[in-house]
Structure 1
Amino acid sequence: MTQPANPSPPAPGPAADAASVRDATDRLLAAVAQLDDATAVKPSLLPGWTRGHVLAHLARNADALLNVLAARPMYASGDVRDADIERDAHRSAADHYEDLRDTALRLDGAFAAQSEAAWERTVEMRNGVTDLANSLPFRRWIEIELHHVDLGIGYGLDDLPGAFIERELDNMARRFLGHPGVPLTLVLRSEYGGTWYTGAPEGTGSGSLVVAGSPTALVGWLTGRSTGSGLAAPEPLPVLPSL
């Protein structure tokens, strides 16, 4: 149950993911360039966060990934992370744009500087989580795409690139596999073909539930960006743990 029933092709690698990050960042920056100060302080789609909070988080996340690549703590602490976002959330739209652009350029340069051997080293994320360095470009791609949606400025789930949706569906199925907050075995079925298993491993949970729909609708639900609109299931969908 640790593999999807229909596995996706192998990931293209960190250099290709870094290129996808650049493309996603360019789309985001083009949208942010259209914001004015009044629009930037309006609520985002994330509870308790304005658009400014989302943009500040994205800029500080780029700095945090630079720390990871340099073998420094990702954030000094959770409190410092939150304080930095709150500090920067209330700036002008122009300041948000410049910060996001400049931090993205620095991170892209750091990605480009990694050798093949460097990509294969183990790095430490938040809360003691470890991963290979080659996962960082895809992690950044996730941040850019989903938080672009969270801004609520016209970029929705249906605008997410197909290649991203495929990767993120795989990623989220793996993320919730064996998660204590998902007591059911969830059988995710794409209307275009493909089945993924997540939640409780088969035979260990409180039952199973087949959830069917488009890959985009599945990703929207799994990432908390929708309540399950467009999905079909024989009973109400469970509330998934927050990310």
Structure 2
Amino acid sequence: MTHRAAGTPAGAPLAAEAVRDAVEAGHARLRALLPGLTDAAVRAPSALPGWSRAHVLAHIEGIGRAMARQARYALRGELIEPYDGGFPARTAAIEEGARRDAAALRTAVGDALAEASAAWAAVGPGDWSRPVRYRDGALRDALLAWWRELVIHTSDADLGHGTDRWPPELCHHLLAHLAPRAPEGVRLVLEPAGEAAALRYGPTDAPVVTVRGPLTALAAWLAGRAPHTPLGCVRAGVTGPLPELRPWP
């Protein structure tokens, strides 16, 4: 069963142009973190289990270029897969790219961000509904995917911009987009601190599990990242562990 969040705590979804502005801010944020990278730093573990910083940066490079080409081809009225060779080729490219030294990674990621900026800047107001091959969606969906990947993996790289600094707009987007991760068989209620509206997922007649904490920590948890501060979880009036989430949609 697919769970949907009830209510939109930050109002209507962001316009595509506002998302593009947020993406550009994410580009600038990551660029500012790159100059300090050393060879030792890129070999060090990232916040993602099993991946070094080099793996995360190679993935950012790859997904940035993949979504950029979705935009370029969509503007020509053509469809193309995000990655030539599909998921196996994506995985191989990450492993190969992670072998590079810090200087090569800095250059590659910087070039990918420049490519992404140019591709998305070319999209006009009437273009956002153009079809793309990515999940058989529209161009706006590809932009949102890049926004999620960019911000989340910038934090995964553990370069000094953690989940506690995620923009509120992205957090609200994640809480809606990741609704299918809500645990099965419960009524999950998320209560962001300082916000009037709670989010509710799952069947209304199921046992209620309430999770409370800062908006950024709730979004990080739903995204499969360690919350930067402990979250409170209550089931049937008793404090307990956080429930297990379902896979990413």
Code of the aligned partner of 1:91 = R
Matched residue, 2:136 = 130
Match of 1:106 among 109, 115, 123: 115
Say whether residues 1:64 and 2:72 are aligned partners. no
Change over 3 Å in CA distance of 1:212–1:159 after alignment to 2: same
1:37-186 to 2 correspondences below 5 Å:
37-69=39-71, 70=73, 71-75=79-83, 76-125=85-134, 129-173=135-179, 175-176=180-181, 182-186=184-188
- Quote the Cα distance in structure 2 between the aligned partners of 1:227 and 1:164: 15
Matched residue of 1:187: which SS?
strand
**Are the equivalent residues in 2 in contact too, given 1:224–1:242 (CA < 8 A)?**
no
TM (normalized to structure 1)?
0.87
RMSD of aligned Cα (Å): 2.1
Deviation at 1:162, TM superposition (A): 2.7
- Quote the Cα distance in structure 1 between the aligned partners of 2:94 and 2:212: 37
- Quote the Cα distance in structure 2 between the aligned partners of 1:114 and 1:201: 39
Residue-by-residue CA offset, 1:153-187 (whole Å, 9 max, x unaligned): 222122222332233233323x436xxx6332211
Deviation at 1:27, TM superposition (A): 1.1
- Quote the Cα distance in structure 2 between the aligned partners of 1:8 and 1:131: 24
In structure 2, list runs of 5 or more residues that go unmatched.
Answer: 74-78, 235-239
* Greater displacement, 135-144 / 221-230: 221-230
- Quote the Cα distance in structure 1 between the aligned partners of 2:133 and 2:174: 21
Residue-by-residue CA offset, 1:43-84 (whole Å, 9 max, x unaligned): 111111100000000010012113323221112221111000
- Quote the Cα distance in structure 2 between the aligned partners of 1:189 and 1:227: 14
**Are the equivalent residues in 2 in contact too, given 1:59–1:99 (CA < 8 A)?**
yes
Matched residue, 2:220 = 220
In structure 1, list runs of 5 or more residues that go unmatched.
Answer: none
**Are the equivalent residues in 2 in contact too, given 1:8–1:170 (CA < 8 A)?**
no
Q: Which runs of 4+ in 1 moved over 4 A?
A: none
Matched residue, 1:240 = 245
- Quote the Cα distance in structure 2 between the aligned partners of 1:80 and 1:89: 14
Deviation at 1:116, TM superposition (A): 3.0
Percent identity, aligned pairs only? 28
Deviation at 1:11, TM superposition (A): 2.8
**Are the equivalent residues in 1 in contact too, given 2:45–2:53 (CA < 8 A)?**
yes
Change over 3 Å in CA distance of 1:124–1:185 after alignment to 2: farther
Residue-by-residue CA offset, 1:77-125 (whole Å, 9 max, x unaligned): 2111100010001111121111111112112211121233321123232
Matched residue, 1:188 = 190
Say whether residues 1:209 and 2:176 are aligned partners. no
